[in-house]
Amino acid sequence: MYPVSLPNWTTQAIVGLISAGCLIIAFFISFYHYNRKKYRPFLFLTLGPFLTIFMSLLYAFSVLFLSIPLIRASVYTFIPIGFFNILLLDSMSRETVDPVKILALGMISVALLFVSLDPSSFYINMFPNGEWRIYLGDNFLIVASPFFILIGTLYVYYAAKIYRDAPKELKIQALVFLLGGIITGFLSPGSLAIRLNDIIPAIHMILFAIGVLISSNTLASQPKLAYILPFKVLRLAIINTNSGVPLYTHIWEGSERTEDMIDPMLFSGMMHTISQFVQESLKKGNVTEIHLEEAILILERSEQFPIVCVLISTKSSQILRQNLNYFAKRFFEEFSQYFSDMSNLSNFATASDLVLEYFPFVPEYD
DSSP letter at 362 equals S
Contacts made by residues 302-305, CB under 8 angstroms, sequence distance 24+:
302/328, 302/332, 304/332, 304/336, 305/332, 305/336, 305/339
Q: Determine the residue type at 352.
A: S
Helices (H) and strands (E) in the chain, counts: 11, 7
**pLDDT of the residue at 246:** 86
**Nearest partner of 56 among 110, 16, 8, judged by Cα:** 16
3-state secondary structure of 110: helix
Partners of 251 in beta bridges: 235
Output the CA angle 143-181-152, nearest 5 degrees: 20
Look up the pTM and report it: 0.86
Peptide bond into 7 cis (omega under 30): yes
Backbone φ and ψ of 59, nearest 5°: -60, -50
Partners of 300 in beta bridges: 309
Q: What is the mean pLDDT of each run of 10 residues along the chain (366 residues)?
A: 75 93 93 87 89 93 92 93 93 90 94 91 86 88 90 95 94 96 93 85 92 93 92 90 85 62 58 55 62 86 88 91 94 91 89 94 85
Instruction: Dump the DSSP string for 162-206.
Output: HHHH--GGGHHHHHHHHHHHHIIIIIHHHHHHTTGGGTSTTHHHH
**pLDDT of the residue at 210:** 95
**pLDDT of the residue at 264:** 61
Ranges in the chain annotated CATH 3.30.450.70? 233-358
Q: Which fold has domain 233-358?
A: Beta-Lactamase (3.30.450)
**How far is it, in rounded angstroms, from Cα 28 to Cα 46?**
8
**How far is it, in rounded angstroms, from Cα 296 to Cα 294?**
7
**pLDDT of the residue at 258:** 41
Ranges in the chain annotated CATH 1.20.1070? 11-227
Pick one of 2.60.40, 1.20.1070, 1.10.8, 3.40.50 as the CATH number of 11-227.
Answer: 1.20.1070
Q: How many CB atoms lie within 10 A of CB 102?
A: 14
